[in-house]
Chains A and B, each alone.
Chain A
């Protein structure tokens, strides 16, 4: 039972390069989220998908796009990476309504040079 799986775990990009962060869950959860965590900043919501077929912006969506591929998978794309996007990215999932709490993946540590 893997829970929430994020790939890759580490990535170094050059400024201007693009990449996609993958998230897959086997929790049968409806809602999926992408957060970024910067030192001293807590977690900030980038995008979320309340259910399959829907996506919405969070607090810090600029520079990112998302795709809810199916119920299990939610990807985050950086089209043209910038040093300000250096961060640790977390995917999280929950049932619609969220009263069971979120389940987090182990994160992707991204460095943009």
Chain B
């Protein structure tokens, strides 16, 4: 079963606009990660936020985490055509010796020129 539920499943915006994707999860986590997947390629790690962090930035990416609501959001500012991809959240549960990531179903983002 999937740990993460992502919303929306698909998002289409104009270049230059901001894109926001949301992720909800079910159990306590150690950290939450976001990945990007271009069509037909492997996933690329974008950013990791620990359970004791509330917000993290990396370039045009901003991630928030609300452990009380078991949810996270990924904001991409000033979107570019190259940001067109699928975005996945993944959670690492507490108490595991070896980290195992559980992935959501992803949000498919399309940036229109």
The answer to whether B100 and A58 touch across the interface, beta carbons within 8 angstroms, is: yes
A-B residue pair count with CB separations less than 8 angstroms: 69
Q: How far is the CA of A43 from the CA of B101 in the complex (A)?
A: 9
* A74 on the B face (CB < 8 A): no
Q: How far is the CA of A100 from the CA of B41 in the complex (A)?
A: 20
The answer to whether A99 and B43 touch across the interface, beta carbons within 8 angstroms, is: no
> Which of A65-73, A77-85, A90-98 is the interface stretch?
A90-98
The answer to whether B99 and A31 touch across the interface, beta carbons within 8 angstroms, is: yes
The answer to whether B98 and A50 touch across the interface, beta carbons within 8 angstroms, is: yes
With A43-B103, A96-B98 already in contact, the answer to whether A101 and B2 are too (CB < 8 A) is no
The answer to whether B98 and A48 touch across the interface, beta carbons within 8 angstroms, is: yes
* A41 on the B face (CB < 8 A): yes
Q: Whole-angstrom distance from the CB of B60 to the nearest CB of chain A? A: 18
Set of chain A residues within 8 Å of B92, measured between Cβ atoms: 98
The answer to whether A98 and B99 touch across the interface, beta carbons within 8 angstroms, is: yes
The answer to whether A103 and B45 touch across the interface, beta carbons within 8 angstroms, is: yes
With A45-B102, A101-B48 already in contact, the answer to whether A90 and B43 are too (CB < 8 A) is yes
Set of chain A residues within 8 Å of B40, measured between Cβ atoms: 107
Question: Could you pull out 7 A-B pairs where Cβ atoms are within 8 angstroms?
Answer: A31-B98, A35-B103, A43-B88, A59-B102, A98-B101, A104-B44, A107-B42
Residues in chain A within 8 A of chain B (CB atoms): 4, 31, 33, 35, 40-45, 48, 50-51, 56, 58-59, 90, 92, 94, 96-107
